[in-house]
Amino acid sequence: MSLFSSTHNLPRWSPRLLPVEGEERSLLVQAAERQRECPVEQLEAIDLPHIQEKIQSALWKGSGAVRILGLGGLDEDVMRRAYALLASCIGTPIDSYGRQYDVVDRGKDYRKEAIPVSQTAAETAFHTDSSSRWMNPSVVGLLCIRPALEGGLSMVSPAWKAEEQLRRKRPELLRLLQEDYVRDVVTPGVEKERIWLNRFPIFSRGPQGLVFRYMRYWIEKGHQRIGEELSLDQIEAMDLLDQELAQNSVHFAMGPGEIVFLDNHRVAHNRSAFVDNPTAPRLLVRMWMSGAPSSS
């Protein structure tokens, strides 16, 4: 049975599957158990050179996405600390929402109040994390503690592939996506009155290459708030981008103990709407990291 739940033929692109096993798994679990009473912000890092190289290679040189398996069966405190220790192999944690942010349905509606979609059970649409010009995580991590009763499938898609296809099919629309767009802001620490300054492109280039930053709802909301309508061509460009991201995507169900790390500059992610088990609601744990590919 395939690990992927897409009903389409699998594209050539897919996240790297990386089992944690053998001596490195033992070292990781032992360190997490030894520090189970320690706050995740104060964990003593451990040396995991082989898995560190594999994670970094997948993120910076490979697909930009990695699924880490093999930590199921641990209790939640140990699982969270093992996750934090693995994240420390990638970069420096960003604490805007706290070191580990629980992604759980809080019974709210992001279309009625300024809250992250992560606090709802709705589908998120393909996006990258953070709508703030001043906060752009390099890596997003997600740990599954409990899956949903129904739905909640994870979806990932290579933004670099969407860019290539847009350049080939409709270069004039790609150029529109390289212009600045206003975003509404829900990221903590960003003043609402600065929204008119919160402009940046969907596709741009940085020192390490592509920088993709997208969540369509917050772009539409931002332009509404400042009274600056999107043009029909801009809407068509985002429609085509959404189509490309969906066509190139891979869907999978995360199980307890599974971790996903994503290059937040090259890979978009999404999740389907879900229904919770009232006695054991869906719980994922998000981490943001700053960092950059090694120059070596």
Q: Of 230, 237, 177, 242, nearest to 204 (Cα)?
A: 177
Average pLDDT over every residue of 196-208 = 93
pLDDT at 192 over 60: no
Residue 45, token pair as written in the block: 């890092």
Q: Which tens digit of pLDDT belongs to each residue from 5-55?
A: 333 444 479 999 999 999 999 999 999 999 999 999 999 999 999 999 999
At 189 the three-state DSSP class reads coil
Please give the distance of CA 87 from its chain centroid, rounded to a whole number.
13
Provide the residue ranges of all domains of the chain, joining segments of one domain with +.
13-291
- Determine phi and psi for 69, rounding to 5 degrees: -115, 160
pLDDT at 195: 85
* CATH number, span 13-291: 3.60.130.10
Q: Of 95, 100, 97, nearest to 83 (Cα)?
A: 100
User: Given 3-state DSSP classes, what are the helix, strand and coil percentages for the chain, each rounded to the nearest 5?
Assistant: 30, 25, 45
Residue partners of 98: CB distance under 8 A and separation at least 6: none
Model confidence band, residue 291 (pLDDT cutoffs 50, 70, 90)? confident
Torsion of CA 162, 166, 167, 170, to 10 degrees: 180
pLDDT at 8: 42
0.95 cut: is pTM over it?
no
pLDDT at 118: 80
Cα–Cα distance, 32 to 293 (Å, whole number): 26
| Between 176 and 185, residue with greater pLDDT | 176
Average pLDDT over every residue of 208-217 = 95
pLDDT at 121: 84
Determine which helix (DSSP H) or strand (DSSP E) holds 218, and give its type and residue range.
helix 216-226
pLDDT at 205 over 90: yes
Q: Which tens digit of pLDDT belongs to each residue from 134-183?
A: 899 999 999 999 999 999 999 999 999 999 999 999 999 999 999 999 99
Q: Of 156, 147, 83, nearest to 124 (Cα)?
A: 156
Q: Of 261, 279, 17, 274, nearest to 137 (Cα)?
A: 261
Q: Which amino acid is at 91?
A: G
